[in-house]
Amino acid sequence: MAFDSIDRRRFLLLAAAPLLAAQKAATPHARESMLQMNGYAVNAETPLAVLTDYMTPNELFFVRSHWIPRTPDPKKWSLTIDGEVERPAQLTLSDLKKLPRAEATCVLQCAGNGRGLYAPTVPGVQWRYGAVGNARWGGVRVRDVLDRAGVKASAKHLHVFGSDDPPGKVPPFQRSIEMEKVLADGILAFSMNGEPLPVVHGAPLRLIVPGWAGDHWMKWLVRLSPQAESQKGFYMETAYRYPLTVGAPGVAFKPEEMSPVTELFVKSNITTAPKKAKAGHAYEIRGFAFSGAPDIAKVEMSDDDGATWTDATLDARHDPYAWRLWSHRWTPSRAGKARICARATDSIGHVQPREAAWNQSGYLHNSWHFVDVEVTA
């Protein structure tokens, strides 16, 4: 079960190599840092105060690893297409790059982002706010790749496989996605924000599923297999499942009372707010909002525990399933402790709840984000 130190060194070296190109476009973020949640397997979230750009810089983008990955050798890598297809294939990266290019600017959020905010507490990486980012993912459409292979009508689920074999008897991280979703929106990405996809983010190829949680965004892709039935195994049948009905906090559901985590829940966070303020003075509050729906309709702000709300201003930049940056000019009216919070509504009417529904694995946390500000006269 043990990994030796060479595995760790190798991973760090592999992680560093693509940065040769990425650094050219890096945004300077003086004294900013990643918050390491686990040294190995590497898991790190981005501090909220850093998430103020429409595009999250590659090197500051949160990192999620189930275990120390066994990343593919790019020179030997190919993508296998098999299963319910007329023409199984092995595609190299250059094969893929001959297909029409596709890009999507959209949010990637770990299903467990915010797990550390749930009470009662649940096991797992105790993510708080920063296992989320927005990037421009470039590659080719899943539809274009599968069309070449000739998907049979019997195929209803795309089984996706990465290269990172787990240690010991740990079950493999294997997933499947409904064909309808992945054919409509799925991208096989080899670039991120215009640079080669970094190894820590899944190079040479990663699946992009706009609007859905990160558990579907398979890294280090090696095989796509359309099948009649959904994937089996621990990471489909036990983990990454969300209750079908809302239960009381602390009450666990059986796997059959849950379904796989798919669409993101509507959510906003505050990235910029003063710690101290003077009554009667104006301050700019900023943040981001996103959802499993294609767009955000509005973001509102409150400084009286949600009794009254004022519309924030949405940034003009938006893409389907990307986040919307927002800002609000806030003038505290009186001295004392102010609790400001934001609430997002998406384009199909979902409203961010005051309290996220507790679930036993701590997925999809989306409670209102409160920030305390000390206001003086």
Nearer to other proteins among residue 129 and residue 283 (C-beta): 129
Query: What count of other Cβ atoms lies within 10 Å of the Cβ of residue 127?
Result: 25
Nearest-approach distance from CB 164 to other proteins, in angstroms: 13
Question: Which one of residues 5, 30, 256, 377 is an interface residue with other proteins (CB under 8 A)?
Answer: 30
Nearer to other proteins among residue 134 and residue 225 (C-beta): 134
Question: Which one of residues 3, 253, 309, 370 is an interface residue with other proteins (CB under 8 A)?
Answer: 3
Nearest-approach distance from CB 365 to other proteins, in angstroms: 15
Build a one-symbol-per-residue string for 50-89: x at contacts with other proteins by CB under 8 A, - elsewhere. ---------xx--x---xx----x----------------
Question: Which one of residues 88, 165, 171, 228 is an interface residue with other proteins (CB under 8 A)?
Answer: 171
Q: How far apart are CA 336 and CA 1, in angstroms?
A: 55
Is residue 235 a contact partner of residue 260, using CB atoms and an 8 Å limit? no
33 binds other proteins (CB under 8 A): yes
Query: What count of other Cβ atoms lies within 10 Å of the Cβ of residue 39?
Result: 9
34 binds other proteins (CB under 8 A): yes
Build a one-symbol-per-residue string for 87-126: x at contacts with other proteins by CB under 8 A, - elsewhere. -----------------------------x---xxxx-xx
253 binds other proteins (CB under 8 A): no
Nearest-approach distance from CB 201 to other proteins, in angstroms: 12
297 binds other proteins (CB under 8 A): no
Nearer to other proteins among residue 29 and residue 339 (C-beta): 29
282 binds other proteins (CB under 8 A): no
Part in contact with other proteins (CB under 8 A); list of ranges 8-16, 149-157, 241-249, 317-325? 8-16
Nearest to 133 by CA among 204, 79, 201, 42: 201
Report strand pairing: 101-109 vs 132-141: antiparallel
Rounded to 5°, angle at Cα 282 from 277 and 287: 85
Nearest to 80 by CA among 159, 175, 139: 159
Rounded to 5°, angle at Cα 216 from 211 and 219: 120
The alpha carbons of the chain give a radius of gyration, in whole angstroms, of 21
Query: What count of other Cβ atoms lies within 10 Å of the Cβ of residue 155?
Result: 18
Nearer to other proteins among residue 132 and residue 289 (C-beta): 132
Nearer to other proteins among residue 163 and residue 345 (C-beta): 163
Nearest-approach distance from CB 306 to other proteins, in angstroms: 27
326: its two tokens: 């927002």
Is residue 205 a contact partner of residue 189, using CB atoms and an 8 Å limit? yes
DSSP per residue, 124-178: S----S-SEEEEEEEEEEHHHHHHHH-B-TT--EEEEEES-PPSTTPPP-EEEEE
Name the H helices within 285-370.
Answer: none
Nearest-approach distance from CB 191 to other proteins, in angstroms: 17
Q: Which of residues 184-223 bind other proteins (CB under 8 A)?
A: 200
Is residue 112 a contact partner of residue 363, using CB atoms and an 8 Å limit? yes
338: its two tokens: 């102010």
| Strand order through the sheet with 283-290 | 267-272, 283-290, 324-330, 313-314
Part in contact with other proteins (CB under 8 A); list of ranges 31-39, 282-290, 293-301, 362-370? 31-39
Question: Which one of residues 88, 97, 154, 167 is an interface residue with other proteins (CB under 8 A)?
Answer: 167
251 binds other proteins (CB under 8 A): no
What are the residues binding other proteins (CB under 8 A)?
Answer: 1-3, 8, 10-17, 19-20, 23-24, 26, 28-45, 59-60, 63, 67-68, 73, 116, 120-123, 125-126, 167-171, 200
